Amino acid sequence: MGKVTAASQRRDALATLAIQGVFAALLAVYGTYDGGADASRRSTGNSTAEDDVVDKFYPMFQDVHVMIYIGFGFLMTFLKKYCYSATGFTLLLGAMLVQWAVLCKGFFHLDPVDHKIHIGIESLLNADIAVAAVLISMGAVLGKTTPLQLLVMGIIEIVAFTSNEYIGVNIFKAVDAGGSMYVHVFGAYFGLGASLALQHGKVLAAESGGGGGSSNEGASYTSDTFAMIGSIFLWLFWPSFNAGLCVGDERHRAVINTYFSLASCCVVAFATSALLGKDHKLNMVHIQNSTLAGGVAIGTVANMMVYPYGALLIGAAAGVLSVIGYHYIQPFLLRSVKLHDTCGVHYLHGLPGVLAGAAGAAAAAAAGERDYGRALHAVFPARAPGEGRTAGAQAGYQLLALGVSALFAGVSGAATGIILKTQVFADVPQECFFDDKLYWDVPEASSSSSHKKDQGDCGDDNNEVETGRDKVITSSDIPLNNQGTS
């Protein structure tokens, strides 16, 4: 199909409407209200136990909602010319894919009597969590893909995500309360696989003479400040993400453990950034992202008896790992294998998620009645009487779930990238990477760009005063991260 044109944009818009129509039709056939929301199943107006489900899950559902649409959206506004797209496309993907996630998860659990998907507040919370995986993947290809490519990527990913989660939860019976393996590891490596297959790193390397950067790929003082809004929202609400689907004492522990891990990670990330930074100055990329890594790293063990000091240690390890990843590993992978990761999802979600999976295996191996009492079988259902699984076996299945999640994500992501690279889809022109003007009417740019017939010629008329991270990257100036040079 070639590069993006007005005709391709119109075609993409019609395709988006068609996808929405298909989802509506599927929900008409398979969707129905859960018992607590179905008026036909209520014989009286009195409150029942089912009514308590809303009170139990809606507050944390709202917290996760804020993370998805404000946290993720604003965290990706660091690109100085891509703020409209970062927030707008996050809203688009979230609104579309939450419907698909409800359907895909429901197909694995159809009611055996009426063969319907019974939708309640838990369904919506689960769907939001699934969408988080897609938004993580979006961060790896941010600024280099069309909205339709993002939607198709998300549709395929939700199918792969729900399949992987079903295998991990129902077959391996691996515990992952905060979704570090099933959401963060999967989302990160799916996105990285797609980015590799799309070969964006090679395109950017050719543009910059081997450095792998773009003149648009950087932050301004204002865009970085907006990105910090997203980071702070994520930091504040992360305990709800990890504890949202837990109940009882597990939920209470998950909130405490996540908060301690985030606090420790934040402090250590600040210190590590200063130690590694030029003239020992803080790097805003580390502060926006690495301070959150503790929320990912504690996810798998959030509901386990790791104790507050354990949560502090896990958070500290995540802070160091994430900053080192942004500072050293990201430029190495960009230079060596041309892996371009716009938001650095590998270092906020991928590696901390692997750390979480390893911590989960260690915690499972050490779990016994001394720490858990009668709650042991609630936390680890596979160790209940009749199941016969030992602590060591549970630890092995935890590691198996981690490995399968990473492998399945990478392979399915690469396959998705190959699909998105076909002639069916228009490609974002190289000169329009990380630029809103291809898809948005940008007021401050309209006077100089409105008469351009070639939409691929995005131009460069952003006159905002920018930080030193915005210079063009050359072959001798590999960036410390993909969000701009230091």
Q: What is the DSSP track for 349-362?
A: IIHHHHHHHHHHHH
Whether 357 is in a domain gets the answer: yes
| Residue 457 pLDDT | 55
Dump the DSSP string for 401-452.
HHHHHHHHHHHHHHHHHHHHTSTTS-B--GGGTT-GGGTS--HHHHHHHTT-
- CB neighbour list of residue 35: distance below 8 Å, 6 or more residues apart: 41, 50, 118, 120
Whether 438 is in a domain gets the answer: no
Exposed, middle or buried: residue 196 (CB in 10 Å: 0-12, 13-18, 19+)? buried
CA pair distance 104, 115, nearest whole angstrom: 14
| Residue 452 pLDDT | 46
* CB neighbours of residue 3 within 10 Å: 16
Q: How many residues does the chain have?
A: 486
CA pair distance 439, 84, nearest whole angstrom: 9
CA-CA-CA-CA torsion for 23, 26, 28, 30, nearest 10 degrees?
A: -140
Output phi, psi for 400, to 5 deg.
-65, -45
Report the domain count for the chain.
1
Whether 44 is in a domain gets the answer: no
| Residue 45 pLDDT | 55
Whether 297 is in a domain gets the answer: yes
SS3 378: helix
Whether 20 is in a domain gets the answer: yes
CA pair distance 100, 293, nearest whole angstrom: 28
For the record, the structure tokens of 471 come out as 């210079």
For the record, the structure tokens of 402 come out as 């981690």
Strand-pair category, 117-119 with 31-33:
parallel
Tokens 């939450």 sit on residue = 98
* CB neighbours of residue 279 within 10 Å: 5
For the four alpha carbons of 294, 299, 300 and 305, in that order, the dihedral sign comes to positive
Whether 480 is in a domain gets the answer: no
CA pair distance 223, 243, nearest whole angstrom: 31
How far, CA to CA in Å, does 338 sit from each of 158, 199, 206, 232? 26, 8, 11, 31
CA pair distance 181, 170, nearest whole angstrom: 15
CA pair distance 295, 254, nearest whole angstrom: 11
CA pair distance 133, 350, nearest whole angstrom: 11
- CB neighbour list of residue 309: distance below 8 Å, 6 or more residues apart: none
pTM of the model: 0.90
For the four alpha carbons of 161, 166, 169 and 171, in that order, the dihedral sign comes to negative
Looking at residue 239, the DSSP 8-state letter turns out to be H
What range defines the domain where residue 89 resides?
Answer: 6-36+55-420
| Residue 388 pLDDT | 83
Whether 434 is in a domain gets the answer: no
CA pair distance 183, 406, nearest whole angstrom: 10
The CATH code of the domain that includes 356 is 1.10.3430.10
From first to last of its 486 residues, the chain has per-residue pLDDT tens of: 578 889 999 999 999 999 999 999 999 999 999 988 888 876 555 555 566 888 889 999 999 999 999 999 999 999 999 999 999 999 999 999 999 999 999 999 998 899 999 999 999 999 999 999 999 999 999 999 999 999 999 999 999 999 999 999 999 999 999 999 999 999 999 999 999 999 998 888 766 555 556 778 889 999 999 999 999 999 999 999 999 999 999 999 999 999 999 999 999 999 999 999 999 999 999 999 999 999 999 999 999 999 999 999 999 999 999 999 999 999 999 999 999 999 999 999 999 999 999 999 999 999 999 999 999 999 999 999 988 899 999 999 999 999 999 999 999 999 999 999 998 999 999 889 999 999 999 986 444 444 444 444 575 444 443 443 433 333 334 444 444 433
Whether 310 is in a domain gets the answer: yes
| Residue 47 pLDDT | 56
